[in-house]
Structure 1
Amino acid sequence: MKMSVEAEVLLQEAKESIEAAQNYRSELQQRLQGLSQARKQVRGSSTHTREALRRHFQELQTALSRLLSDRLSALLQEVDAIEQDSVSPLDDCQKLIEHGVSMADELLREGEAALRCGISDKEDKLCSFAKKALNIQLDSLPEVPALVDVPCLSAQLDDSLLHVMRERVARHGSVSAHPPVQIEELVERPGSVLVRWCKVDEDFNPQDYRLQYRRSNATQYEDAYIGKDCEFLVLHLDPHTDYLFRVCARGEGRTEWSPWSVPQTGYTTLTPHEWSPGVDGYILSSRKNIAMRSDANPGAGGVLYSSSPTYFCGQTLTFKISAAGQMDKRDSVGVCADNHSGAESLQRDQAVCITTSGAVFVNGKEMTNQLPAITVGSSVTFDMEVVSLFPISNNNNPSDGGTFKLRVTIGSGNREVVFYWLLDQVVDCLFFGCSFTHPGWKVLVF
């Protein structure tokens, strides 16, 4: 039996309501999961902070107790040394006086004995006593130091130390609900990720930033950048692999780093830029992103292209010169629509490039604008944007004989040139290349 139109409408509305309810439930479940993660972050960071505070103050307490004990021991040893040095001469003086008292007692006994003896022996006894008395030098007495001349030890203890410590301890450490800097954006680039961060604490004045990263399945972070910039391109990342990024800052005039930001997961799906291997006259690094003009075969060379067309419009392509050789007018780095072999330079049709002298060529023609010469440490950037398509074929198919117009920006040093580049066909991606006539040039591409 066929359903009425009204019943079909009700059935359709019921299906739509069921689908909407399913989507609503799914969204709510995702939000519950987000709340769970947020709660875990609060609980986990609170537990970690408590442990860090207890550990830090316990270490301070132990270290301070050890320092006070060491200082007390040093002061007591100083008292012992002064006491020993001061008492030693007094002991020597006491021994001398006691020896004199002993001799005087013996002399007294002899003198009294001489006085009591008979007349026959009295003269000899008195003579012997007189000689002995002269030898003792009864008029010579040892000098005893006055009390003001001997040490009277005391301890000078400054109670201000406790006051200073109380003030310093009262200001030591702080607890914040959020780190002062957070990662703002992760942008995938070929074989790399551009990390941008920002300050979120208005009262914090950063002096330097520190960026770290690690694979999601690793345990140790490694430094990627330390400096004043608020963005950095982390190179040499494997595509389709999750990486964790975190950033912290050092306050102005401080030596310690701030707490780390909440780690953010980033990855790149873009194939890293690589030079084409096996080209005579060029040596590549293990990752194939660095090319060096070799002197093994001076006659060889020509253009070294990328292994594949990995540059897409909307990205920034950078050439970093890490070593330089002798300059030649044919030397250049740039972007091209094809990788036709046999060309001596990128100063040809279907290519844009900059020479080592700073001249800019578009489709083989030199522009009037010129950039600074390329030297060691120079970075040359290419940014391209699709402007328009002008079909010229009968069937209006842009991919069949149309004019492809790109806005190109080339930057070198603190200058840049902007121009339009016309191609005779639509291209989704572009090759890059370099050509150096003389050995010694080394270029990194990213």
Structure 2
Amino acid sequence: MELETEALLQEARESIEAARLYRRELQQRLKGLHLARQQIKDSAALTRDVLEQHFSDLKGTLRKLLDERLVSLLQEVDAIEEESIKPLDECQKLIEHGVGTADELLRDGESAIHGVTGENNNKLCNFTKKALHIQLDSLPEVPSLVDVPCLSAQLDDSLLTVVRSQIVSHGTVASRPPVQIEELIEKPGGILVRWCKVDEDFIPQHYRLQYRKSNTGHFEDVYVGSDTEFIVLHIDPNIDYQFRVCARGDGRQEWSPWSVSQIGRSTLVPHEWTTGFEGYSLSSRRNIALRNDSQAGGVLYSKAPTYYCGQTLTFRIEAVGQTDKKDSIGICVEQRNGRDSLQRDKAVCVSTNGAVFVNGKEMTNQLPAFTSGSAVTFDMEAVTIGPSNNNEGGNFKLRVTISSNNREVVFDWVLDQCCGSFYFGCSFSCPGWKVLVF
């Protein structure tokens, strides 16, 4: 009986725990639904504001342009009217002067005729002389109506058709942005952001990636180009960052709406060079090393063994100097101060001329020589652990892939003991070399 009761209690406890987990999952889904609903409502409200503001600005601009054009045309009418009336005014003055002269002559003539006597005809003689001096047969020419301007306005009604067709198709509303962030991958001191287009009809020409510390400050442009992934560097560990991306369609000037912002963080310790090495100057974040003109030489190592199997380590050559056959960049099991090159045992490296060295031995395959902007990547994965030939322990084999300028070298690196993390390093004999590690 007690066993049966205990079994029932255990079953009840399991059911209670299952119900608790079920409730928790349902609550998480309710939270997800709430966030989805909130995103729809917030984006709809923002879209309404953008549309209303845009069309308000558009109407204001159109009204201003139409008013300015109307004023310009009215000024043109005023100028033509003034210029055309001027000769008519002069002709009118001339005619009015002639009318006044004729009126005066009529009055003098009538007075002279009425005042004529048998012997006193002086007034008549004076009038006759006066009339002879006035050219009564000379009349000013008045232009005919077809010879003077007749103003009119030529207004093309097709403008309304064109404007109407443009307005009815102006602007679109999309339920989703044409591009979205696909993946955020943490890197030491950085985050790899990958994105893709989700609108099959959208043909992207360029992408634009922005980021910011979560909910602080403004978004900053960090990449503009045609690639669909980018490593954002200078990321502080264990801090949330927001990322968003948009695109510009082929042949267009405006950018698309932003993607839904995604939050990412890196928990990996940033790669740093060792400080205090006389031959190299470091950046503030200690991920860039510059070979200075100091006489001190040797290998500059990482601050700690921060590279692990399964990760990708990248060296980017920011500037070049004169080459030396011992110059190299690479990965090693341990720091060995006093050495002048990584071309030694327990290390794999690439020299500046592209030669690949494994445990100090040069391989037949070779990579391109370093130039400014060259990126050299190291990828490693554990292959197998087996007995060694000398019966003193096991062999630890790593599959190493080194890539540079679309070429790669793949080989197995055999170590006499298991190693979980590695140092990286560089050695340059001449000043001017500058290398970024991430």
TM bracket, shorter-chain basis: over 0.9
Identity, % of aligned pairs? 66
SS at match of 1:76: helix
Deviation at 1:134? 4.3
Counterparts in 2 of 1:352 and 1:130: CA distance versus 1, 3 Å: farther
Alignment-derived partner of residue 150 in structure 2: 152
Matched, 1:259 2:234: no
Alignment-derived partner of residue 419 in structure 2: 427
Deviation at 1:131? 4.3
SS at match of 1:430: strand
Of 325, 330, 333, the residue aligned with 1:329 is 325
Of 404, 415, 427, the residue aligned with 1:412 is 404
- 2:116 and 2:124 in contact (8 A); partners too: no
Counterparts in 2 of 1:355 and 1:121: CA distance versus 1, 3 Å: farther
Counterparts in 2 of 1:94 and 1:391: CA distance versus 1, 3 Å: same
Alignment-derived partner of residue 376 in structure 1: 372
> Match of 2:398, as an amino acid?
L
Question: Where does 1:146-295 land on structure 2 (aligned, <5 Å)?
Answer: 146-295=144-293
Structure 2 distance, partners of 1:104, 1:391, is: 139
> Match of 1:251, as an amino acid?
G
Structure 1 distance, partners of 2:370, 2:166, is: 54
SS at match of 2:273: coil
Structure 1 distance, partners of 2:121, 2:418, is: 147
Counterparts in 2 of 1:135 and 1:335: CA distance versus 1, 3 Å: farther
SS at match of 2:421: coil
Alignment-derived partner of residue 342 in structure 1: 338
Deviation at 1:142? 1.9
SS at match of 2:108: helix
Structure 2 distance, partners of 1:286, 1:122, is: 123
SS at match of 1:405: strand
Deviation at 1:326? 0.8
Counterparts in 2 of 1:331 and 1:109: CA distance versus 1, 3 Å: same
1:48-68 deviations in Å (ceiling 9; x for gaps): 111211121122122212221
Structure 2 distance, partners of 1:307, 1:316, is: 18
**Unaligned ranges ≥5, structure 2:** none
> Match of 1:122, as an amino acid?
N
**Unaligned ranges ≥5, structure 1:** none
Structure 1 distance, partners of 2:73, 2:60, is: 20
Structure 2 distance, partners of 1:133, 1:287, is: 111
Structure 2 distance, partners of 1:339, 1:310, is: 13
1:17-50 deviations in Å (ceiling 9; x for gaps): 1111111111111111111111111111111111
1:165-214 deviations in Å (ceiling 9; x for gaps): 11111111111211111111100001111011111111111111111111
Structure 1 distance, partners of 2:320, 2:312, is: 23
Structure 2 distance, partners of 1:201, 1:243, is: 26
The two structures have a TM-score, normalised by structure 2, of 0.95
Structure 2 distance, partners of 1:140, 1:382, is: 108
Matched, 1:318 2:314: yes
Of 24, 27, 30, the residue aligned with 1:26 is 24
SS at match of 1:380: strand
SS at match of 2:121: helix
Question: Where does 1:102-141 land on structure 2 (aligned, <5 Å)?
Answer: 102-119=100-117, 121-123=120-122, 125-141=123-139
> Match of 1:159, as an amino acid?
D
The two structures have a TM-score, normalised by structure 1, of 0.94
SS at match of 2:365: strand
SS at match of 1:22: helix
Of 55, 58, 80, the residue aligned with 2:56 is 58
- 2:374 and 2:405 in contact (8 A); partners too: yes
Deviation at 1:132? 3.4
> Match of 1:311, as an amino acid?
Y
> Match of 1:99, as an amino acid?
H
> Match of 2:138, as an amino acid?
S
- Matched residue pairs, number? 437
Structure 1 distance, partners of 2:307, 2:115, is: 133
1:238-262 deviations in Å (ceiling 9; x for gaps): 0000011111111112111111111
1:110-156 deviations in Å (ceiling 9; x for gaps): 23333333455524x44543443344333332222221121111111
How large is the RMSD of aligned CA atoms in angstroms?
1.9
- 2:328 and 2:352 in contact (8 A); partners too: yes
